[in-house]
């Protein structure tokens, strides 16, 4: 009875403090311009976090990063072996500013345009969804539990300051034998996130696709002469197009590692069939702002989305880019590419195959070719019966929400590196409705923030109970 009363007391405390938390903690945090390469904004964000966690952390350390610092902090709870909590404090830069309903770092409360007006009041801000809101919601619950002396498990907090640039600091850090000992007593790893769909169902994904992001630049030593000379000089723009076709053409990879589509396992196929019965693909498209798709059959489109390897050109730039027409031969062409894959293969192998293609192509042209790797993560997986998965499902159920379990996410995250280097299961999930990550009008639904905070409390207790049963 005493324990039940204690739970009720804390939940009521969370509810009573919700508006104050949003106005005095969350919105001020979202107003800090924390995009990765904004050094002043990153410094403000880091200082905010260090000040915030100083109230309840026993030990806080800062490590110099490739771009921005890593922050690691210990929080003591009843179970001594800690759960690793991964969080990112940087965000994407701002694009399409004229499409935002309000300034991206004003954290204004607005109603979104159709068809999302049904969500009611939303906080509009870069980082509102990905992922400063879930970060601070989780920290706030830790603060409350520490103040109440009821934190059920110790936590190791890991703050990544350059995730949006590929997490170079984190990846080098956890590869370093000197620092691995920091994580040796951790049980699992968890990344708090807002993962409810528009119907309020919790969405839980058991892994992430791998990703390889790279830049290819082709150039010549020429000036940029009139196109009448095009018959006698190299054209980097044409060379770039021709090169890309040796890697990917007719919707198919021309490299061995990704030449064939991924075949889901029997467990993945079972989860997929169960998903088809529950999801509304039109709702998924609406939330993502998708109007057109390649495949008309919704079921096939969804399967391709989850499992097919993808080749995406996010930047393709060459030649005369101003208004009007200018007939000349460009001396440079550049593109940024990201490749996503469900295959159990190292991104290093994919990168090597692409480099081999480039070396062969380079022998056929007088242009100079440069390739650089931006991001490389392998795919990641977690067991469906792991304590992490069970705890997230039960914490959603405790608030009356069902959970959709997906076999994989089409997104990518540095989870595979944490699994490989530290030997920890890793998952992301949690309640709260948000969207438009990396896009205009990124948002978190105001009324769902209370569910985020309460579910964080339930997650920590449920996970701790499951771990205690295993001891």
- Say whether pLDDT at 3 is over 70: no
Q: Residue 143 sits in a domain of what CATH number?
A: 3.40.630.10
Cα torsion 310, 212, 424, 70 to 10°: value is: -130
137 and 43 within one domain: yes
**Cα(first)–Cα(last) distance of the chain, in Å?**
24
152 and 35 within one domain: yes
Last residue of a domain, one of 330, 357, 377: 377
169 and 100 within one domain: yes
Locate 359 and state its tokens.
């070396």
Range in 310-324, 344-358, 413-427, 445-459 the model is least confident about: 413-427
What was the pLDDT predicted at 411? 86
- Say whether pLDDT at 200 is over 90: yes
Indicate the pLDDT class of residue 276, thresholds 50, 70 and 90.
Answer: confident
CA 6 vs CA 1, 3, 74, 155, 208: distances in Å? 9, 5, 25, 21, 37
CA 198 vs CA 91, 117, 257: distances in Å? 23, 11, 37
17 and 143 within one domain: yes
93 and 63 within one domain: yes
Last residue of a domain, one of 377, 393, 419: 377
pLDDT digits (tens, 9 = 90+) for 125-172: 999 999 999 999 999 999 999 999 999 999 999 999 999 988 889 989
pLDDT digits (tens, 9 = 90+) for 97-129: 999 999 999 999 999 998 899 999 999 999 999
Domains identified in the chain, total number: 3
What was the pLDDT predicted at 420? 84
What was the pLDDT predicted at 4? 67
361 and 302 within one domain: no
334 and 395 within one domain: no
110 and 157 within one domain: yes
CA 352 to chain centre: 25
Q: Residue 350 sits in a domain of what CATH number?
A: 3.30.70.360
Q: What residues make up the domain containing 315?
A: 213-261+311-377
pLDDT digits (tens, 9 = 90+) for 305-351: 999 999 999 999 999 888 889 999 999 999 999 999 999 999 999 99
Mean pLDDT over the full length of the chain? 94
391 and 269 within one domain: no
Q: How many CB atoms lie within 10 A of CB 260?
A: 11
416 and 268 within one domain: no
173 and 278 within one domain: no
What was the pLDDT predicted at 287? 66
317 and 173 within one domain: no
């Amino acid at each position: 009875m005493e324990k039940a009363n204690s739970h009720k007391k804390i939940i009521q405390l969370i509810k009573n403090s919700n508006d104050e938390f949003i106005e005095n903690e969350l919105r001020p945090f979202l107003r800090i311009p924390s995009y990765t390469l904004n050094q002043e904004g990153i410094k403000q964000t880091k200082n905010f976090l260090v000040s915030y966690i100083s109230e309840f952390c026993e030990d806080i350390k800062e490590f110099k990063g490739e771009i921005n610092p890593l922050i690691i902090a210990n929080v003591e709870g009843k179970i001594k072996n800690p759960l690793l909590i991964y969080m990112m404090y940087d965000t994407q830069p701002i694009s399409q500013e004229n499409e935002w309903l309000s300034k991206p770092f004003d954290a204004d409360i607005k109603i979104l345009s159709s068809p999302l007006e049904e969500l009611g009041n939303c906080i509009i801000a870069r980082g509102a969804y990905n992922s400063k809101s879930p970060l601070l919601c989780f920290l706030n619950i830790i603060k409350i539990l520490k103040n109440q002396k009821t934190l059920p498990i110790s936590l190791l907090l890991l703050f990544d300051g350059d995730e949006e640039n590929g997490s170079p600091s984190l990846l080098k850090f956890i590869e370093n034998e000197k620092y691995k000992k920091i994580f040796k007593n951790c049980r699992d790893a968890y990344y708090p996130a807002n993962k409810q769909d528009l119907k309020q169902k919790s969405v839980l994904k058991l892994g992430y696709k791998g990703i390889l992001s790279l830049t290819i630049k082709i150039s010549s030593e020429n000036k940029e002469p009139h196109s009448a000379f095009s018959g006698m000089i190299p054209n980097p723009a044409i060379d770039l197009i021709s090169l890309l076709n040796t890697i990917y053409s007719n919707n198919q990879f021309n490299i061995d590692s990704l030449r064939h589509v991924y075949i889901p396992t029997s467990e993945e196929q079972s989860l997929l069939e169960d998903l088809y019965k529950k999801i509304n693909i039109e709702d998924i498209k609406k939330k993502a702002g998708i109007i057109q798709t390649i495949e008309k059959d919704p079921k096939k489109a969804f399967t391709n989305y989850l499992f097919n390897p993808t080749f995406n050109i996010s930047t393709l730039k060459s030649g005369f880019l101003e208004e009007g027409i200018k007939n000349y031969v460009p001396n440079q062409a550049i593109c940024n590419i990201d490749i996503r894959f469900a295959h159990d293969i190292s991104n290093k192998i994919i990168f090597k195959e692409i480099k081999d293609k480039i070396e062969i192509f380079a022998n056929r042209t007088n242009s100079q070719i440069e390739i650089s790797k931006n991001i490389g993560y392998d795919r990641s997986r977690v067991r469906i019966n792991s304590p992490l998965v069970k705890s997230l499902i039960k914490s959603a159920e405790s608030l009356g929400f069902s959970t959709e379990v997906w076999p994989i996410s089409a997104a990518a995250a540095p989870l595979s590196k944490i699994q490989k280097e530290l030997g920890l299961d890793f998952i992301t999930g949690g309640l709260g409705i948000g969207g438009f990550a990396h896009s205009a009008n990124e948002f978190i639904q105001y009324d769902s923030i209370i569910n985020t905070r309460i579910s964080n409390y339930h997650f920590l207790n449920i996970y701790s109970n499951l771990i205690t049963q295993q001891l």
